[in-house]
Structure formats: structure tokens, C-alpha cells
């Protein structure tokens, strides 16, 4: 008896054996190519991660920085609107948030977005501008009005030594100026562009 029932292996011709061997070799080469491609992909992804890894924390800070710019701009505008109704004088530093509250739509702008605790505020008013006439400020383009602050209380006020060190937004802080501009400035010693 021949065939599978008789226990003998089926006979194959040389051409069938060569075709089977070629197929086995082709599959082995395809497997090696696939493994090589997978290794190259893993290497490429590792390089991308190594290059992009430092970018991720900065990317997380961008929305907070943008929100802080908007909040400080609105607080600065509210202080200017208050001064228009108060004989062109800035609010009293000790109660500045209370005085400009009617000029803001959302009390949430008093909160610095860089702070995780919603019960702290993180912005302050420049004490040296308390009740000062807006026209009496000598350098409005460089004189800071509202700024990021380490004093996180309601109605926080003081001078620029209250700026957070290091900065609240990736070594930067947000400040507004008497002329109405708002900027992100580097933390550390203030240059001549900020007074």
C-alpha cells in the first residue's frame, strides 16, 4: 500500500521539492525583511521621542500662557475703565479687585491659570500706582500695572519683587503695562524695558 494510509510518505517529484524549497526560502526572507522593517520603525520612533520629548512640557504651558495673557489684559482694561470713572485715577491698591469687579464679566479672570488651586488668585496690582492719575505716569510703555504674583490673596498688591521666580509659565511671567499692552517677560532680573 502506498499513500498516507499505508504509512509511507507520499512521493514528490524533484520539481515539486524545488518549488516547496523556494517557497520556504521566500518566506524566510520575507520574515527577515519584516523584522528589519520593524526594527527600523522602532529606531525611528525612538529618535522622534528623543527629539520631541523636551517639547511636550512647553506645549502644555502654551494654553495656560495664552489664558494668562487674556486674563491680565482684561484686568488691565478693567483698571483703565475704573480710572475713567474715577477722575482718571487707578484704583486703591488695597482694594483694587473689589473696585474693578463691576468692570469684569467673569470673576475667573482674577485666577492665574498656572496655579492648580482655584482658591488662590496669583495676580497683583502695582502698589506704587495706587490712586495715581493715569496721565502722571512718566513711562506708560514700560510701567507695569498688573502682574503675576507670588502673593495669591484677593486684592494682592506690591512691587515687581513679587514676580514668581522661576516664572509661572516656563521661566516666564505675564505683565500688563500702563499703555494697555500685555507681555510675557522672562523671569529673573528685569531689563530696562520693564519698570
| 4 assigned to some structural domain | no
Mean pLDDT to the nearest integer, 58-87 = 91
pLDDT in the model for residue 129: 96
Domain count, the chain: 2
Instruction: Judge if 44 and 66 occupy the same domain.
Output: no
Mean pLDDT to the nearest integer, 161-189 = 91
Residue 152 has pLDDT above 70, yes or no: yes
Q: Which domain holds residue 160?
A: 61-186
Instruction: Judge if 144 and 91 occupy the same domain.
Output: yes
pTM of the model: 0.72
Q: CB within 8 A of 148, min separation 6: which ones?
A: 68, 72, 112, 114, 122, 123, 124, 163, 164, 167, 168, 173, 174, 175
Residue 118 DSSP symbol: T
pLDDT in the model for residue 116: 83
| pLDDT > 70: percent of the chain | 91
pLDDT in the model for residue 3: 46
pLDDT in the model for residue 12: 80
Instruction: Judge if 37 and 125 occupy the same domain.
Output: no
| 193 assigned to some structural domain | no
Instruction: Judge if 43 and 74 occupy the same domain.
Output: no
Whole-number Å distance between alpha carbons of 173 and 108: 18
Instruction: Judge if 42 and 66 occupy the same domain.
Output: no
Instruction: Judge if 81 and 163 occupy the same domain.
Output: yes
More confident residue, 119 or 55: 119
Instruction: Judge if 88 and 108 occupy the same domain.
Output: yes
Cell of 7: 504509512
| 191 assigned to some structural domain | no
Q: CB within 8 A of 154, min separation 6: which ones?
A: 97, 110, 121
Amino acid at each position: 500500500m502506498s499513500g498516507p494510509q499505508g504509512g509511507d510518505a507520499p512521493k514528490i517529484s524533484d520539481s515539486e521539492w524545488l518549488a516547496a524549497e523556494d517557497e520556504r526560502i521566500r518566506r524566510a526572507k520575507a520574515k527577515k525583511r519584516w523584522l528589519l522593517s520593524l526594527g527600523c520603525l522602532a529606531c525611528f520612533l525612538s529618535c522622534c521621542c528623543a527629539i520631541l520629548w523636551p517639547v511636550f512640557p512647553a506645549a502644555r504651558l502654551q494654553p495656560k500662557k495664552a489664558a494668562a495673557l487674556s486674563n491680565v489684559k482684561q484686568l488691565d482694561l478693567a483698571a483703565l475703565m475704573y480710572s475713567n470713572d474715577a477722575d482718571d485715577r487707578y484704583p486703591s491698591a488695597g482694594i483694587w479687585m473689589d473696585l474693578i469687579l463691576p468692570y469684569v464679566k467673569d470673576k475667573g479672570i482674577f485666577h492665574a491659570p498656572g496655579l492648580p488651586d482655584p482658591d488662590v488668585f496669583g495676580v497683583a496690582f502695582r502698589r506704587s500706582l495706587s490712586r495715581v492719575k493715569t496721565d502722571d505716569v512718566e513711562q506708560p510703555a514700560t510701567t507695569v500695572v498688573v502682574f503675576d504674583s507670588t502673593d495669591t490673596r484677593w486684592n494682592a498688591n506690591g512691587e515687581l519683587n513679587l514676580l514668581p521666580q522661576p516664572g509661572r509659565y516656563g521661566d516666564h511671567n505675564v505683565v500688563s503695562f500702563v499703555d494697555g499692552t500685555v507681555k510675557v517677560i522672562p523671569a529673573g532680573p528685569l531689563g530696562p524695558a520693564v519698570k
